[in-house]
Structure 1
Amino acid sequence: MKIIDRYLLKAIIPSFLISFGFILFLLFMSQIFYLAEIFIARRVPFIIALKILFYLLPSITALSLPLAFMAGVLTGLARLSSDGEIDAMKALGLSPDRIFRPVFMLGLFLWMLSMSFTFWITPAANYRWLQTMVHSVLSRTNLEIEPGLFVESIPRKVIFVEDRSEDGRWRRIFLYQPEEDNKAQIVLARSGALAVVPEKKEALLLLENGQVYGLNFASPEVLILNNFEKLEQTVDLQKLIENYSLEKRAREKSIGELWKDWQEFKNKISSDTFDRRLTLTELNKRFSLPATCLIFVFLGVGLGWRKWPGGRFGAQALSLVVLLIYYVLLIFGEEAAIKGSQPPWLAMWLPNGLIFLFGLYTYFSTFRGEKTFLKFKLKNFKLIAQKIFSARRKSVRINTVYQDRFAFLPKLVDRYIVVRFLKVSILIFAILFLILILMNFFQQLELLKETQKPIRLLFLYIWYKLPEFILYAGLITILVAPCLVFGYLYRHNEISALMTLGISYFRVIFPVVVIIAFLSWPAFVLQDKVISHSNARADEILNIISDRPVKSFTLVSHYWIRNTNDNQYYHYDLLDPLRKKLDRFLVLELDTQSFKLKKIIYATEAQIGRNELKLQSGWIREFKDDSSFYLPFTTTEMRLPQAEKYFIKEWKEPANMTLNELKLYIQDLEKTGYRATRFILEAELRKAFSLSFLVLGMISLASVGLVGRRGFILPLGLSLLGGFIYWESLAIFRSLGITEALPPFLAAWGPQIIFFLAACYFLFNSRT
């Protein structure tokens, strides 16, 4: 290999690897929290969690390789152009054809690598991922009974445990078991435990010193009461495990299996079917997606050879638009092919053909000179740039004249750093934001193809996920942009020149630190006010796409509520919040000393008042010593202060509440005697997470300060490594907080404090 080829590859390959690392890190951000939760909260072995992570890699790699290759070619060639090396090559008589050869060889290698992924590696990994999830994760039952909560995960049982001793035994257990023929059992026990037998896939519910009350709502005058010293009940864990199909779908089949399916469809006499179209579309996609690596060679060399207004940023902005057009065409083409409105081969290859034609035009236009390519637009951009720079020169002269009068204003160095930082940040943010949209779209598109739902639902889902994408793209931008900016300044000895003038490294990075610190407040507002609501709507749409029932979550359940003031349990079958009406309302009042039933009230209907409940068509049974008294009623009134507050309120997931809603909800829970640990943790996480921008920014600046003189590749890699460890620590500490292994404050603020202090330590040890 000649020197020029090695030199070009040396400029392109590091940029390709960094772009590839960006995409992987970005797409794994949301997965890391899930993996930490199943590892800690669901007690899945660590090796299984690593397997799940490993099996996700091939599908993400297959989609990321073309994107990373395009970004690597453009970034590498644009760097050579900005350093004047492309002009030197032109002066030596080198043509774009000479640059094309090594880039084409790299593209050919990546094309073959991508083909191996789409043909064999990705389908096999997808199926292994499905098997691991079904056998090792989804089949696990989490029977952790948390004191202070109504637990309804066990079929046909509702368990409430007031307290738990240090050895893990329960104290003061309430158990409600509905039965057939309008009957129910109420079990009260002073102590108990749950013993899981994994080999038999069952569990034993062991209760001691209690009573069993048998109720018959059809004949309420009849009551069965039994005392017990020990009571054992078997819980069949098989009923807790959903049945998941392990049959291979199109995305889990290798190219050979897809071809075999296609041959079977061809031999069938039946007309065009959904499975036939899906198989043929998937076959064409397995070939067309890797082919983009070859197509992007023409486009990358054509765009990278010429100088653009704005340097590498102008070229990357145009490539961003081209990639967006390509993937939008691919998405709509795939949808049209599955529906049968377009031939699969045309739908999958049309985007490639259009981008290939555009790439050929950009490539061969370089031989005719740069002025013939987009001449009018380049001229306009040049005029705009001249006006901007002339305005900047005027402002520099004005600020120089009044420098002493306005000494508190940002200096020339600050403006220079800020402008460069903002230019790099905006470009990186746009690229990462687009990648998040495209990758999530493709991931959910597989689900949409199976359920055959309209594609507008997927667009609506992505629309509601945009705030979350903005937050994630912003976090990675803050981790990456300082490395690129200050790495560039180190590479061109600008940092050394400033130090020679007596300006320390701390003073140089000061405006960037101010910008990053300022972003913490918008990040908190975005997370608290916008994402909390938009993600709830996105989850509802995803449930519709996947044919899952829309969940209505509540910590204490819509159906069971405890009043600690009167030691009462309330249960109802149906709530009509508009009419303020409860159907089949049941009240169980317990004696605090003996932990026995004191009173049972049942009403077929209850009207909710301000401080009372108006009960209709029911009965009351009071217990005294070993006897009970039964009294039916047509209408009666039950005193309950702030009755509306108990029943009529909007229930949400903690992650879907704002910080103010969480605080109010925590107060309500604590008043009613419930443990609000999960909600306190969510509130602390909400406040602590807003500092992630500052922590990631400090990690990036510390990486540049330590190894910035060795180029921008090493500090960027160090920054990405630090960011990954920090993100993993956030997930682990959060999972430890959920399991109550750590208090909420420490689980939320621990990673922020540790990594902020570590980043400050390394930053202060850098050469200033």
Structure 2
Amino acid sequence: MKLIFNKLQRDVLRRHIGPFVFCFLTVMFLLLMQFLMLHIDKLVGKGLPLGIIIELIITNLAYMVVLAAPMATLVACLMAFGKFSELNELTAMRAAGVNPFHVIKPVLISAFFLCIFLGWFSNYVLPDANQRARSLFIDIRTKKPGFDLKPNEFYDGIEGYIFLVKNINNETDSLYNVTLIQKPDSDKNRKEAVIKADRGYLESSADGQLLTLYLFDGSTLRNLTRTSSYDPVTEETHFDRYRISFDLSDLSFSRSNPDQRTRNDRTMSAEAMLAVVDSLRIERESHIEESFNQDNSFTPPADTTEITRQTYQLQVSSNRTGVADTVDKVKSEYLAVNLMKNRKNQLGLAEMAISDLRKYKSNVENLKTNVSWRDSRISRYLVEVHKKFSIPFACLIFVLIGAPIGMFTKKGNIGYAALFGTGFLTFYWISLIQGEKMADRLFITPFWAMWFSNIILGIIGTYLVVRLCTSFKISNLWKKSDS
């Protein structure tokens, strides 16, 4: 019996390989197409080397691997165990006295090792890949578009020049009715000019850094020095053949060092983010302690002449409103105000107290802003830390969900697997996305933001496995209590 049981386990594992690989590659393809559709406008028209585009795609495949593996695990379990039950092998296994959990156990062990691998991959490989992809995106975004002339369209991609070509023969690369506007540049001793020609052609150097324009049968109109602001001096010359070269080095793609760029929460390992979190917490506590240690008490000065000096403007204002120095002081519920000799000093004391209160309020608001900003950053980093492990852990959860559902439905085709898989995956990813947004806004903790869906699906999966492997039902709980 032991030998048959081992063969059965190996057979179930083999049945997972095909659906897992198929679903994994399918999800990777869909994610790749989504990536290309979102960023194709940033890659086209800039003359990027093919190697750079391939490197950009490869570096972005890293995050796709982390997302695709749990999805593939769920669909593979639904298909493999559904087929296992559809062929009545589950019935035969139970008749032989074999518990269904022994068939699920090797898949759980495989999912555990996959979870370990994805956790390591997400913590050490993914941050570096994201940093390289981010650096490449910045380099591509700052690169100027490649030289691309189009008929009847102005082109100003080369600094200091504007091109206008009426017609282009793509077969011979010939240009017709060419107009070239040359802008002045004192550093290069270049004067303002308009060059026109009936025809011409372009020739590029072997390394692509130099572009030469040959023009035939044309004229050049140059602006010379001005005798006055309203009397420009121009010179027109005709030519049979004219040649001008352009430096295209500014249009070439240049790589920057990714290690020299600052890293954010998506390009750091969990250890690095926890170190940043510790620093932010120390800064937060330091600001709070410093604020509470400040002397925010107010003591009125004993010398009333000091109050009079500090409130000179208030005196003037009081005189304008008819409050004279000889007016008797007013009674107040505050003891310090009653100690003043006249109303003018009383008003000065009140103004000083209000000024100190406003200063204290400003300090409290600044403290609240600083603490809130650091709490938000701490939450953002902790969300990424939990995400690095919650998504890989979903592989185990999806085995607990997929195995019993596949056996209960007794359908091992891709249609049922896609239907049930879409439902659970939609719930899972919506929970992660919304949880991350709520955690960034400090509505919930980072732990619940990233682990809520795992906990809910884990409870459901555990119950389904127990229900499959034993005679336990939830309804048995209140049936026994009724009896």
TM-score with structure 2 setting the length: 0.64
**Structure 1 position 93, deviation (Å):** 2.1
Q: Distance in 2 between matches of 1:341 and 1:199?
A: 57
Of 245, 249, 266, which residue of structure 1 is paired with 2:264? 249
Q: Do structure 1's residue 174 and structure 2's residue 179 form an aligned pair?
A: yes
**Structure 1 position 191, deviation (Å):** 4.8
Of 74, 80, 83, which residue of structure 1 is paired with 2:78? 74
2:409 partner SS = coil
**Which residue number corresponds to residue 745 of structure 1?**
none
Q: Deviations over 1:709-730 (max 9, x none)?
A: xxxxxxxxxxxxxxxxxxxxxx
Of 226, 247, 261, which residue of structure 1 is paired with 2:276? 261
**Structure 1 position 134, deviation (Å):** 5.1
- 1:9–1:340 Cα change, 3 Å: same
Q: Do structure 1's residue 97 and structure 2's residue 97 form an aligned pair?
A: no
Q: Distance in 2 between matches of 1:78 and 1:130?
A: 42
- 1:106–1:201 Cα change, 3 Å: same
Q: Distance in 1 between matches of 2:39 and 2:440?
A: 33
**Structure 1 position 290, deviation (Å):** 0.8
Contact 1:55 1:125 in 2 (8 A): yes
Contact 1:96 1:305 in 2 (8 A): no
Contact 2:155 2:164 in 1 (8 A): yes
Tell me the matched-pair count: 370
Q: Within 5 Å, give how 1:492-511 maps onto structure 2.
A: none
1:172 partner SS = strand
Q: Distance in 1 between matches of 2:451 and 2:198?
A: 70
One-letter code aligned to 2:234: I
Q: Distance in 1 between matches of 2:255 and 2:181?
A: 27
**Which residue number corresponds to residue 63 of structure 2?**
59
**Structure 1 position 299, deviation (Å):** 1.1
Contact 1:174 1:187 in 2 (8 A): yes
**Structure 1 position 347, deviation (Å):** 0.9
Of 94, 112, 119, which residue of structure 2 is paired with 1:115? 119
- 1:350–1:38 Cα change, 3 Å: closer
**Which residue number corresponds to residue 403 of structure 2?**
301
Contact 2:123 2:269 in 1 (8 A): yes
Q: Point out which structure has higher relative CO (alpha carbons under 8 A, 6+ apart).
A: 2
**Which residue number corresponds to residue 271 of structure 1?**
371
Q: Distance in 1 between matches of 2:136 and 2:255?
A: 14
1:212 partner SS = strand
Contact 1:82 1:312 in 2 (8 A): no
2:113 partner SS = helix
- 1:172–1:220 Cα change, 3 Å: farther
**Which residue number corresponds to residue 130 of structure 2?**
126
**Structure 1 position 39, deviation (Å):** 9.5
Q: Do structure 1's residue 323 and structure 2's residue 333 form an aligned pair?
A: no
Q: Deviations over 1:472-499 (max 9, x none)?
A: xxxxxxxxxxxxxxxxxxxxxxxxxxxx
Q: Distance in 2 between matches of 1:86 and 1:150?
A: 72
**Which residue number corresponds to residue 189 of structure 1?**
197
- 1:360–1:152 Cα change, 3 Å: same
Of 362, 378, 394, which residue of structure 1 is paired with 2:464? 362
**Which residue number corresponds to residue 221 of structure 2?**
212
Structure 1 regions of 5+ residues with no counterpart?
A: 374-768
Q: Distance in 2 between matches of 1:313 and 1:372?
A: 30
Q: Deviations over 1:641-661 (max 9, x none)?
A: xxxxxxxxxxxxxxxxxxxxx
1:226 partner SS = strand
**Structure 1 position 202, deviation (Å):** 7.2
Contact 1:177 1:184 in 2 (8 A): yes
Q: Distance in 1 between matches of 2:254 and 2:54?
A: 23
- 1:112–1:243 Cα change, 3 Å: closer
Kindly name which structure, 1 or 2, has the bigger radius of gyration based on alpha carbons.
2
Q: Distance in 1 between matches of 2:458 and 2:34?
A: 34
**Which residue number corresponds to residue 285 of structure 1?**
387
**Which residue number corresponds to residue 338 of structure 1?**
440
- 1:238–1:2 Cα change, 3 Å: same
1:68 partner SS = helix
Q: Distance in 2 between matches of 1:192 and 1:312?
A: 61
**Structure 1 position 69, deviation (Å):** 0.4
- 1:192–1:219 Cα change, 3 Å: farther
- 1:30–1:214 Cα change, 3 Å: farther
2:393 partner SS = helix
Q: Distance in 1 between matches of 2:11 and 2:383?
A: 40
Contact 1:204 1:233 in 2 (8 A): yes
Q: Distance in 2 between matches of 1:228 and 1:276?
A: 70
Q: Do structure 1's residue 4 and structure 2's residue 8 form an aligned pair?
A: yes
Contact 2:85 2:410 in 1 (8 A): no
- 1:313–1:200 Cα change, 3 Å: closer
One-letter code aligned to 1:346: W
Q: Distance in 2 between matches of 1:202 and 1:260?
A: 49
Q: Distance in 2 between matches of 1:312 and 1:248?
A: 41
**Structure 1 position 257, deviation (Å):** 2.8
Contact 1:20 1:68 in 2 (8 A): yes
One-letter code aligned to 2:108: F
- 1:197–1:271 Cα change, 3 Å: farther
Q: Distance in 2 between matches of 1:345 and 1:104?
A: 24
One-letter code aligned to 1:297: V
**Which residue number corresponds to residue 727 of structure 1?**
none
Q: Distance in 1 between matches of 2:61 and 2:44?
A: 22
Q: Distance in 1 between matches of 2:392 and 2:63?
A: 13
**Structure 1 position 261, deviation (Å):** 2.4
**Structure 1 position 80, deviation (Å):** 1.1
Q: Distance in 2 between matches of 1:334 and 1:72?
A: 28
Contact 2:406 2:412 in 1 (8 A): no
**Which residue number corresponds to residue 300 of structure 2?**
none
Q: Deviations over 1:203-243 (max 9, x none)?
A: 66665642226599x97775634326447475675489899
Q: Distance in 2 between matches of 1:167 and 1:137?
A: 32
**Structure 1 position 163, deviation (Å):** 4.1
1:358 partner SS = helix
1:248 partner SS = coil
One-letter code aligned to 1:24: M
1:159 partner SS = strand
One-letter code aligned to 1:175: L
**Which residue number corresponds to residue 150 of structure 1?**
154
- 1:279–1:204 Cα change, 3 Å: farther
- 1:285–1:125 Cα change, 3 Å: same
TM-score with structure 1 setting the length: 0.42
- 1:243–1:158 Cα change, 3 Å: farther
Q: Distance in 2 between matches of 1:152 and 1:30?
A: 32
**Structure 1 position 53, deviation (Å):** 2.9
2:179 partner SS = strand
Percent identity over paired residues: 21
2:281 partner SS = helix
One-letter code aligned to 2:17: I
Contact 2:436 2:446 in 1 (8 A): yes
Q: Deviations over 1:439-469 (max 9, x none)?
A: xxxxxxxxxxxxxxxxxxxxxxxxxxxxxxx
Q: Deviations over 1:177-221 (max 9, x none)?
A: 6789xx9854323455666679897766665642226599x9777
One-letter code aligned to 2:377: D
2:20 partner SS = helix
1:143 partner SS = coil
1:150 partner SS = coil
Contact 2:84 2:412 in 1 (8 A): no
**Structure 1 position 65, deviation (Å):** 0.4
**Structure 1 position 268, deviation (Å):** 1.9
Contact 1:38 1:49 in 2 (8 A): no
